[in-house]
Each structure stands twice: as structure tokens, then as C-alpha cells.
Structure 1
């Protein structure tokens, strides 16, 4: 999106130009946080939208899987909104449609989000639907083949997207287990029946593991519904997951078509000052262009525009206790090799050759990215859910932006890199050939 601004100037007896940078203020949305009698933390955001949403944010991502049930989180996601003792899956879907609602389940590495979006006034019905998932899902064995079929379909669809494949592999190489677990169950999974999924559900569907986030809903009503519908929820304290450990390494996958190369390093947990530092570094050297035409404003963007169909983009993935920072390059194999060398050179010298203008540009992009993350219902739900589950407090958009106010550029710490090559691997680099 291209934004334009109108400049005006006043001329006096002495001609003087003063340039200053001012950031637009971001209005903080009213966020209310209450611990319910059921032991579940309830968060509501009033954004005055005509449609509402409510979500269960459960600490049940792929990270929570053990060596004996890798892939079970994917199965649990696909069991959402299936047959319960109160409603069949067909009835649930049909009633939601008649009310104009939308039901969804999304799995991430650290959480499972079960959501309902609907018109104001229907909160009670959709809260009941979500509570039924926790308490009344049948996990019937005759449903398992259909669930497995949908799991396999989603895995196949993801495998057809090189960007998903290469990032999944990067996490696997970087962390091995925990955050390294795939989001998609594969054929080697030991999950073989509905009982395995039910056992995992009983483990993760507990009060300390669940957060309820509502947008454009009455907080008092949401709190009362939580107290009544979740009064019998287990209060078992889940076992503390093994702390994430960064390993690094290399993975090469040969496939036809365009090539992809990821070079990543140990990052920082989300919400920390180190994470904010890496966000600025990301936008300082990112190779993506801000406009469709033109060569871009930094060296990597200009380099990518001169290579055949080559894209260079940096990423900064932050989790509760770890992170992954790096660059993703895609295009023709020979061009990817050349772009990778350029990216490494820029990364090595980023902190030593920064102009005030470049730093201001990167800082502005980092601030915009942080503010934009609070724009949609889905993003607000995930942000607030993760904040409460992993830190116990909510960080508003205003507080998120203040992280950047006093920041000074610092170099990235050296560590063993993670490298993933996908495509024509014979023409793609190894990490040790890039002069890291």
C-alpha cells in the first residue's frame, strides 16, 4: 500500500527548513483482564466492531507433544467441532451457519486457538459450543479415519508450499524437539486411535492451560458465561515443558522447481528487548521492496531486483523462551547462491555501516509492524492469549511501541547457523561456504 502525504511550508523573512520525525499516536484499545471463578483468565477487547469473536487459546501447540505422540496436536485441532454428547458435528455447523457465525481451529507451535466469530448478541450460544469441545467431545473411534484423512490432506497441501516446507525444516533443524516439532502429523506418527487424542486433550484442557479472549463483547457477560460453562474444568497444573535449546545444523531437500534457501540463527523470545532489536535489524537489511516497481532502498533489495525472479526476506520468529532469526531466499538456484552470499555480507556488517536515515527507516518499519499486529481479531487473540499464558500479563499496543523508543543498534551474537536448502541442492550453498 502506498501512502501519500501533503507538505506545506510557510516562508518568512529568513528561510529555514527543519526536518523532524514524529510518530502518529496509536490509541490503546480498552483491554480488561479478569481471573474467573473457574480459574481461567478472561480477556476482552472492546473495539466497537459490529461483529464479535470469542476464542479459547490453549497451550496445546506442537511443542507440547512428546516423543511418544508427535503429531497429536494436529489431530486434536481436527477433532474440534466434531461430534459431542450435546450436538452432532452437522448440527453444530448448521446452527452456526443459521446464526451467521464462523468456526475455526488454528494450530501454532505453542498454542491451539479455537475461535467463533458472530454477530453481537450470540455470545452465549458460541461460548457453549466452545465449552462443549473441552468437556463433551466424544473422540469416537469411527471418526478417526476421517480425521486422519483430513490430517493427511492438510499435510499434503502444506508440503506443496515450499515456503512452509522450508520454514518447518528450519525449526526442526534449529530446535530438534519442542519448537522443532512439525505442525503437521506425518505417516510415522504413533497416534493410531482416538484414545491417543483424548488422552492429550485431557492433559491440555485444564484451567491453567486455557485463556478466553473476546473482542467486541461485554466483559461481564463473558466472565459469567465462563464461570457457569467451565465450572467443572480440571485445575491440574501441567508439567513444565523442557526449555527450548538451540542446536543449529543443516538440511538439504531435493525437489523440482524453484529453489529456496534459509539461513537462520538463534533469535530472542517475543516481547523482550533483544527481540525488538532483531526486529529493527530485520527491517534494516530486509530485501523486500516497499513498492511494486523500483529497486528498493537497501543493498539487498537492489540486489534481488537485478537477479532473475529472486526474493530475499528476513524473518524474526519469537516464542515464549526462544526465537529464530534469519533470511529466506527463493528463485533460480544460481541466483539464490549469489543472493545468499550478499545477505551474509550485509548481516555481518549491518551494525557497522548504518546511516541515521537507514536506522530511522528500519525503526519506523519495526514500529509499524508492531502496531499492525494488533489490527485484526485473529492477531489480537493470539497476541493477548500468548502474553497471558506465558508471561501472565497483557502488553498493549502502546506499551509494545515503547520498546523501540530508546533502542540503539547492537550486533547479532555469533552462533552456529541453521541452514535449509530446498530445490536444486547441487547448486545451492552449504552454510560453511558463505564465510559466516
Structure 2
């Protein structure tokens, strides 16, 4: 079966009792990392499960696009598993289905992830399918019109979701280019034929740009198939993307229906101590409830529950060289305005005073969220692939959780103060005549 998706957790309570609470240790799966003879780094995670997966994690996300080819990463994703010199798209899909496997292509701002999920004994076949994408995709001119239709459909489906519009716009306002590039090719794209897509593929499908990540596979076998099937991979060193620069600013989009407001600030790169501190701050000011009933535990959740049909959630998105931290609020415009003021008050409060109970609760949620992010095959693939591509090393789940042990209340207060010093990014979507401006929130 062929499926295509387009990108890119919650909660534990902390209770005060007469006895101390001990956190269970997380059992990490063995991770092996080897540079193959082809120059491609191979990572495997042994879960001893009967179902396996292999993914090509390619440094080919939307941030790799330039002014002359914005949207090309979206087109390249949709060319995955199309006609090659050895198989038609129909044959590929049919054979994968007969073997009980799944093929998928996923695009993030930094990576294109081409994946196959299958029974453990079928590793060789699916590695061949993935190698064909790199070396044998035809990019035939007559396919381009169908690819364009699927690209337009995905963009239309995504832009029908207000949350997607708001967060996509927040990235554009915050970073402008690079990380600010949309995941979706729009009508203004200069991509007009399959040759444009082929040129981008030739640029990004090189050994330094590709990571192969397998789960529940034998590392030696994975390495063997990489050496034999990817031996003709290009070793050209791609140009280094422009370092992300945070700008901040404001965007207001009038639309019917519920209103949405995103207030964001400069975050931190994924995997850094600053990112981990922001994770704790994120759960300290998060407005979502841990259970269906009740008003929530922290102040923001309790106040949000008193506002009509209003939801407040925090986010902390980390990339290789930057990040975006903030809150997303949705509901009736007047309530969204009130919720935005409350969120700012809580963020300012966190910069000066945090109770021990709130700190421990946020710390527990951050630990749980980190542990949960390593649970699925898809998440492990993206985490380990991006770690190797951008930092050259793997951080295991236990190492990721252990970094929270060093934090003190003062560290989170300092993090909150630092966040407030950056220029805000604000996106108002809906009833813009009522929704707030960032400079009216007493930041």
C-alpha cells in the first residue's frame, strides 16, 4: 500500500505525598551507527519486533529551497514512488501491498523522509525500492500534471485547517526565508515542469545529505544492502543553507469562523540545553487540561476553562539552528483576546516567581513528553535521522531525559526572561478587528 503524508503528548500529574516519588527508568533500544562504504551513515534501532521499517532521511526540507524554486520540496515529495526505470508506480504499490508493506513520503521544514514499513524478512526488497527513488525515478513530463494536482489538493486540504495556516504564517513572519518557507507549494511557485524537480533531486540526493535509519532490522544486513544498492550515490557536497535568522513581526488574516491567535518568540535549536529548558517552560504555561473533567491544574488552564469555547496550548518547536516558542489560542475573538493577556501575564510571572510544585509538575510533563517522542517508529526515524544529519551524534531517550535533572527553578525563570526579551511574532486569524496586537499585550 502507498500512502503519502505531510507534516511534523501529554501528560503526567505530580502529586505531593508523604513518600517520595521514583520515576521508572526508560528502557532504551540499542542504537548502532556506522558510516557505510558509500559515504551514507546508517543508523539502526533494534526493537526485536516482527515489523520493521527503513527510512531515507534526506536534508531536503522546505528550508533548502531558494527564491527561484520555492515549493520544489513539496513536488519532490510527491514524486516519490512514481515511475522508475525498473518499475511503474502501479507495480511498486502492488508489490508492496502483496508483501503487506507500506510506503510513505513525509516532508518537514528540514527533511524529506521516504519510508517503508514491512515484515522483517523483506528488508532487501524494500531497500531496493528506496534506492530506486534516488537513482531511477524518471521524472517524466507527462507525470507532472498529476503531481501538480496532488500538490494543489494537499495545499487546499491543509489551508482548510486554521491551525495550519496560523502556525505556517508564524514561521514565515518569524524567519521569512529558510525555516519560513511554507511546506506547501502555492500558485506563485516557479516550478513549472518535472525538470525543475529533477534538478533539485540531483542537488539533494547526495551521500552527505542522506541518512538511512532502520528499526527492528539487523544492522549488518542494513549496512550490506546500503553498500550494494547505493554504491553509485553522488558524493557532491551540497551548499550550506543560510543560517536561520529570527526577525519577528505581525500578520493579520481576516477569515470567517473561530478566531486564532499565535504569540511566539525566538526558541532554541533541538537537542540543546536551552531547548530542554523551554520544554519545561512550555508545560509550566500550557493551558491544556490533563483530564476531561475539572478546570486543570495550572493557572492558565484554570482561567482558560472559564472562557467560552477557548483553547490555549503552548508549543516549543526546535530545528537544527533555531526554534520557535509560544502559545496558540483559539475560540471566540473576545475570549481569545482575554486568553492572550492571561498567557502573557503567566509568562511574565514565570520570569520572576515559580512555585516548587508548579516546577516539579512541569518537569514531570517535560520528561514524559520527551520519553513519548521516542515511542513510535516514525518518531525515532525523524529524531535519529535529524540528529545525525545536523549534529553528527545520536542522543538516546535516557540521555534526553537525564538533561532535565540539572534544572533548577532559577534556570526556568531565566529562560522565561530571555524569551520575553526577543521580538514577538504574532499572527491573528479570524475577527482581526477584535483580536489583539502584540504591542497591546504589555510585553
For Structure 1 versus Structure 2, the TM-score category normalised by the shorter chain is: over 0.9
- SS of 1:232 mapped into structure 2: coil
- Report how far residue 415 of structure 1 moved: 1.1
- Deviation, structure 1 residue 351: 3.1
Q: Distance in 2 between matches of 1:65 and 1:280?
A: 33
Q: For 1:425, what is the secondary structure of its paired residue?
A: coil
1:411 is matched with 415
- Structure 2 distance, partners of 1:86, 1:135, is 11
Q: TM-score, normalised by structure 2?
A: 0.95
| Corresponding residue SS for 2:406 | coil
2:241 match: 241
Alpha-carbon distance, 1:49 to partner: 1.4
Task: Please say if residues 55 and 212 of structure 1, whose CA atoms lie closer than 8 Å, have aligned partners that are also in contact.
Answer: yes
Q: Deviations over 1:374-409 (max 9, x none)?
A: 100000000000000000000000110111011122
2:281 and 2:251 mapped to 1: Cα distance? 25
Report the Cα distance in structure 2 between the residues aligned to 1:76 and 1:270, rounded to whole angstroms. 25
Q: Distance in 2 between matches of 1:285 and 1:94?
A: 48
User: Residue 434 of structure 1 aligns with which residue?
Assistant: 441
Once the two structures are superposed, residues 55-94 of structure 1 have per-residue CA deviations (whole angstroms, 9 ceiling, x without a partner) of 0000000000000000000000000000000000000000
- 1:250 is aligned to 250
Counterpart of 2:432 (choices 403, 425, 432) is 425
Q: 1:124 and 2:124 equivalent?
A: yes
Equivalent residue runs for 1:27-426 within 5 Å: 27-408=27-408, 409=412, 410-412=414-416, 413=418, 414-426=421-433
Unaligned segments of structure 2, at least 5 residues: 1-9
CA RMSD of aligned residues (A): 1.5
The Cα offsets for residues 147-184 of structure 1, whole Å up to 9 and x where unpaired, read as 00000000000000111110000000000000000000
Distance 1:99 1:287 in 2: 45
TM-superposed CA distance for 1:33, in Å, is: 0.5
Deviations 1:257-282 (A, max 9, x none): 00000000000000000001100000
Shift, 1:3, TM fit: 8.0
The separation in 2 between residues aligned to 1:80 and 1:427, in whole angstroms, is 44
Q: CA deviation at 1:18?
A: 4.1
Work out the CA distance in 2 between the residues paired with 1:176 and 1:262: 16
Q: Deviations over 1:5-53 (max 9, x none)?
A: 9x9xxxxxxxxx8432321111111000000000000000011112000
Cα distance in 2 between the residues matched to 1:294 and 1:167? 28
Paired residues of 1:312 and 1:330 also in contact (CA < 8 A): yes
Show the counterpart of 2:4.
none
Change (3 A) 1:3 1:402: closer
Q: Residue 74 of structure 2 contacts residue 183 of structure 2 at CA under 8 Å; is this kept in 1?
A: yes
**1:115: Cα distance to partner?**
0.1
Higher mean C-alpha displacement, 317-326 vs 406-415: 406-415
Larger CA deviation: 50-59 vs 400-409:
400-409
Deviation at 1:411, TM superposition (A): 3.4
Aligned mates of 1:256, 1:146 — CA distance in 2: 32
Structure 1: stretches of 5+ with no match in the other structure: 8-16
In the alignment, the residues of structure 1 paired with residue 48 and residue 250 of structure 2 have an alpha-carbon distance, to the nearest angstrom, of 48
Tell me the CA shift for residue 352 of structure 1. 2.1
Q: Contact 1:56 / 1:211 at 8 angstroms: preserved in 2?
A: yes
Cα distance, 1:4 vs. partner? Answer: 10
Tell me the SS of whatever aligns to 2:55.
strand
Structure 1 window deviating more from structure 2 (399-408 vs 174-183): it is 399-408
Counterpart of 2:23? 23
- Contact 1:350–1:411 (8 Å) recurs in 2: no
Task: Kindly tell me the number of residue pairs found equivalent between the two proteins.
Answer: 427
Q: Structure 1 residue 426: deviation in Å?
A: 0.7
Q: d(CA) in 2 for partners of 1:324 and 1:18?
A: 39
Distance 1:2 1:273, change over 3 A: closer
Q: TM-score, normalised by structure 1?
A: 0.96
Contact 2:11 2:368 survives alignment (8 Å):
no
Q: Cα gap change, 1:2/1:387 in structure 2, threshold over 3 Å: closer, same or farther?
A: closer
Q: Determine which structure has more spread, i.e. the larger CA radius of gyration.
A: 1
